[in-house]
Amino acid sequence: MKGKIALVTGANGGLGSHVTKALLDAGAVVVGVSRKIQPSEFDSASFIALPAEISTAAGAKSMVDSLVARLGRLDVVVHTVGGFAGGQSIAETDDATFQRMLDSNLNSTFYLLRAVLSTMRKTGNGRIVAIGSRAALKPGPRVGAYSASKAAMVSLIKTVALENKDVGITANVILPATIDTPANRTALPNADYSKWVQPASIAALIVWLVSDNGRDVNGAAIPVYGSDV
């Protein structure tokens, strides 16, 4: 990854912080994006903090324009940002909850992809990895809005893979079961954490996918379920 420029959304989040560190350790220059993020959050001269709001088309475009103006190109995009809502059946789900899931998991992904692809197509050999969810393939009761938004996200990533393979860009989506993050432990204090997926495992997989070794993996939806298979 030496010399590669990587963008990580949600870079200081429960998963994003592991991904950012793993890419830095692999030699990449990492631009970490979040609503609130500081350069001091990662002890590396190769880390660049870029506070931004990517949930809107204008925000995503402005963020990418700023990155390209500073660094000139973009080689890797890792999208870890998303949202979760559950507890309601489809019949009970209100409009606001359904729209929030679409905004958090689908629309933000679309805006980001549209903003980065023109730059990445000029460079060629780019790598895109997004974090989906096991629920995209195996929906459960009372998480219908969340599952639907993640399933649509998978379709979006697979389409990007097909549309950009001509210039060597790969696009893949990882589908984890519950990730062992502080936020998830707080939300589910009585769960069996030993079955959860470790963030470092996902980060290591991402580093492999975006390296030269992962060039033959494209348009894949990769399940990462830990011991809860």
Average pLDDT over residues 25-43: 97
Distances in whole angstroms, Cα of residue 136 to Cα of each of 2, 105, 184, 225? 34, 11, 18, 13
Tell me: pLDDT of 36 over 80.
yes
The residues that bridge with 129 in the sheet, in sequence order, are: 78, 172
Beta pairing class for 221-224 and 5-9: unpaired
Instruction: Please tell me the predicted confidence (pLDDT) of residue 173.
Output: 98
- Span of 9-13, 170-174, 181-185, 213-217 with lowest mean pLDDT: 181-185
Residue-wise pLDDT for 74-96, tens only, equals 999 999 999 999 999 999 999 99
Class of domain 5-224: alpha beta
Average pLDDT, the chain: 96
- Model confidence, pTM: 0.96
Tell me: pLDDT of 211 over 80.
yes
Q: What percent of the chain clears pLDDT 70, i.e. is strictly above it?
A: 100
Residues 104, 175 contacting (CB under 8 angstroms): no
Instruction: Please tell me the predicted confidence (pLDDT) of residue 227.
Output: 80
Instruction: Please tell me the predicted confidence (pLDDT) of residue 35.
Output: 94
Instruction: List all residues 6 or more positions away from 59 whose beta carbon is below 8 Å from its beta carbon.
Output: 52, 53, 111
Q: For residues 151 and 87, give the distance between their C-alpha atoms in angstroms, rounded to a whole number.
A: 18
Average pLDDT over residues 163-191: 95
Instruction: Please tell me the predicted confidence (pLDDT) of residue 228.
Output: 74
Domain ranges of the chain: 5-224
Residues 118, 70 contacting (CB under 8 angstroms): no
Residue-wise pLDDT for 138-160, tens only, equals 999 999 999 999 999 999 999 99
Q: For residues 100 and 95, give the distance between their C-alpha atoms in angstroms, rounded to a whole number.
A: 8
